[in-house]
Amino acid sequence: MERNLMIAGFGGQGVMTMGKLLAEATSQATDLNVTFFPSYGAAMRGGTANCYVVISDDQIGAPVSYSLEDLVVMNGPSLHKFLPNLKSGGNLFVNSTIVTDPVDRDDINIIKAPVTQMSIDIGNPRALNVIMLGVYVGATNAVPPEVIEKGIAHKFAKKPKLIDPNVEAFRMGLEIGKAQAK
C-alpha cells in the first residue's frame, strides 16, 4: 500500500518542515519505505513552497505524483493549483483560517482545520504545521501518532523546552483529524 501526500503553502508556513518531520519520523520509527521530495529553485519568503512525501510498505517508484491520495493546502493559491492532482476519493486538508474559497469537488473528503488561528490562540504561531500534521495523522492513520511524537522529541532534542508545546499542538490537531475521519 502506497500513500502519496503533497503539502503546499506559502514559504514560512513550515510546509517543508511538516513533510520532513513526517518522513523522518516514519523512517526512524517504522520499517516502512519513505521518500521526501521538496520543490526547489528560486524561492522567497511569501512565495510558494511544496513538498511530496510517499510512504509505502513496498519499494517506492517516483517520489513525486500527480495523482495524490492526500493533499494539504495551507494557502489559497495551492488549493487552485493542486486540487486537480487529488485522486477521486482522496483527502483534502484545508487550512481554513486562510483558505476560504469553496472547494468545487464532491468526490473527495474535505478536512478543515483553522490551523493558523489555532497556533496564534495557543501563543505558538510557528506551530501551525505541527497542528496540521496532527490533523493529517488523525484523519488518515498514515502512521501511528506515537511515531510523530517520537519524531518531535528527536527534532527538538537540542531545544527540549520546545518538545512539550509541539507535542501538545500535534495532539490538538490529532483530535480534529480524528473527529473528521471518514
Partner 1 sequence: MAERVFMKGTEAIAEAAVRAGCRFFAGYPITPQNEIPEYMARRLPEVGGTFVQGESEVASVNMLYGAASTGIRAMSSSSSCGISLYSEGVSYCASARIPMVYVNVQRGGPGIGAIQPAQQDYMQATKASGNGGFRMIVLAPDSVQECVDMVYEAYDLAERDQNPVLVLTDGVMGTMMEPVVLPPMKSDKELEECRAKFLPRAIIGHPLGQQATCRPGSVGDGQEQANIEAAAMYETWDKDIRVEEFMMDDAEIVFAAYGISARISRAVIRQLRKEGIKAGMIRPITISPFPYDSFRNLDFNRVKGIIDVEMSIPAQMRWDVDFAVQGRCPIHEVLRSGGQLLTNDQVLKGAREFIKEVL
Instruction: Report the interface residues with partner 1, using CB under 8 A.
Output: 20, 23-24, 27-28, 33-38, 40-41, 58-67
Nearer to partner 1, 3 or 20 (CB): 20
Nearer to partner 1, 22 or 118 (CB): 22
Assign 3-state DSSP to the chain and report helix, strand, coil percentages, each to 5: 45, 25, 30
Helices and strands (H, E) in the chain, number of each type:
6, 6
Nearer to partner 1, 60 or 153 (CB): 60
Nearer to partner 1, 85 or 97 (CB): 85
In the complex, what is the shortest distance from the CB of residue 100 to partner 1, in angstroms, rounded to a whole number?
31
Phi, psi of 67 (to 5 degrees): -135, 95
In the complex, what is the shortest distance from the CB of residue 19 to partner 1, in angstroms, rounded to a whole number?
9
Nearer to partner 1, 38 or 76 (CB): 38
Q: What angle do CA 62, 18, 13 make, to 5 degrees?
A: 115
In the complex, what is the shortest distance from the CB of residue 113 to partner 1, in angstroms, rounded to a whole number?
26
The position carrying cell 537540542 is 158
In the complex, what is the shortest distance from the CB of residue 101 to partner 1, in angstroms, rounded to a whole number?
27
Looking at the chain, how many residues does it have?
182
User: Is the four-CA dihedral 11, 13, 148, 100 of positive or negative sign?
Assistant: negative
In the complex, what is the shortest distance from the CB of residue 83 to partner 1, in angstroms, rounded to a whole number?
17
